[in-house]
Amino acid sequence: MTLSIEYVDISTIKAYKRNSKRHPAAQVEQIAASISEFGMNDPIAVCDNVIIEGHGRYLACKKLNMQTVPILRLDHLTDEQRRAYNIVHNKLCMNSDFDLKILSAELDDIFNIDMSDFGFDVDSIHDEWEEQHEDNKQKEKFADANILNLERAQYPGVGDYDIPKLNPVHADELQHIDEWIGFNYVLTEKNPENKAVHFFLNDYQFERIWNNPEKYIDKLSKFAAVATPDFSPYGDMPFCLQLYNHYRKHWVGAYLQEHGIKVIPTIRASTDPRSSKFYLEGEPEGGVVLISSMWTKTQEEKDIFINEYNTMYDTLKPEKVFIYGKQIDGLQGDIERIKTFTESRFKKG
């Protein structure tokens, strides 16, 4: 199908009586100003000489006493298509807005044409762009900073690495804990009372508490206690990432404590001996702590764990230690072993 522009006497076309798009007088004035300044560059679409699209231009042309107007004939459309196109064309014109940054810059480069004749309040547009720009800058700043959660909260740091310091939780502050569940079951747990939450899972299953901690505050507050997330400081990781995960563990712990949740510190070093420089920084003294022995498979790993545990015990002097996982001899203190998920839910006794 080929469309061609015709020029016809304006009296030979007429408005569609059921046109649903409004054209107030102020808009018609602006369209007329545009035609006067730039010419009639947008043909009016008609079917059987009845306007389908271009009623505002038609009214502006009449206001300007134009005798001849350009038209496009759309006689190939069915009657139903004509009705639909009349509505669709007008709606699609309303479905987008200006990019204020580009619009503001373009208006700055127009000197000899009064854009207010066409409905543009240039000063207001500049003000709106400046406001939007500033708002966007703040949002970008917040988003950038929030990758590290610095906009959500910052806590006083201790030690050589500014690790947030956690407050101790004492045994007499805790209600009886019947069961420990993994964080991946938190949102579906219907009876959180007398249960505590641990993070001895693959890291991807709880990364979301770092990215969106506020989402979990209400749910976690219903549990008897919540451990600090066990972001893994694997021994084959670069040292800076081991340290970063230790920081993240403490930031989340401090955030949960700030919101009234009883937080039990999770103690975690790595097989990298350099982790001894930071793995106890920020941990509270004299309270209840949690540690996992699940990763110990070889005797060498058990020896590393025993050294990690006893160094922790001598330094923090905890009043009670929960151990998640295997029974390991040679440990000091008041110890309560926690059954693993497999033991507690899939085995009898």
What is the tens place of the pLDDT at every residue in 211-256? 999 999 999 999 999 999 999 999 999 999 999 999 999 999 999 9
pLDDT tens figures, 42-95: 999 999 999 999 999 999 999 999 999 999 999 999 999 999 999 999 899 888
Q: How far is CA 345 from the centre of its chain?
A: 35
Query: Tokens 């066990």 appear where?
Result: 230
**How far from 100 is each of 19, 68, 107, 246, CA to CA, in Å?**
31, 36, 10, 44
Task: Among 20-34, 108-122, 132-146, name the one with the lowest average pLDDT.
Answer: 132-146
Q: How many residues would you count in the chain?
A: 349
**Where does residue 197 fall: left (phi above 0), alpha (psi -120 to 50 degrees), or beta otherwise?**
beta
With beta carbons less than 8 A apart as the criterion, state whether 309 and 287 touch: no
**Mean pLDDT, residues 259-277:** 95
Return the CATH number of the domain spanning residue range 5-96: 3.90.1530.10
In this model, does residue 345 exceed pLDDT 60? no
pLDDT of residue 2: 84
Cross-strand partners of 196 = 180, 225
Assign 313 a pLDDT band (cuts: 50, 70, 90).
Answer: very high
The fraction of the chain above a pLDDT of 70, given in percent, is 95
In this model, does residue 348 exceed pLDDT 50? no
pLDDT of residue 126: 87
**Where does residue 39 fall: left (phi above 0), alpha (psi -120 to 50 degrees), or beta otherwise?**
left
Can you read off the two tokens belonging to residue 113? 């044409």
Average pLDDT, the chain: 92
pLDDT of residue 151: 83
Tell which residue, 346, 349, 343, has the closest CA to residue 200: 343
pLDDT of residue 94: 85
So where are the chain's domains? 5-96, 98-146, 157-346
Tell which residue, 233, 220, 223, 314, has the closest CA to residue 266: 233
Assign 136 a pLDDT band (cuts: 50, 70, 90).
Answer: confident
Which residues, including other chains, have CB under 8 Å from residue 81's CB and lie 6 or more apart? none
Contacts for 332-338: CB closer than 8 Å, 24+ residues apart: 338/180, 338/198, 338/290
What is the spatial distance between Cα 159 and Cα 177, in angstroms, rounded to a whole number?
32
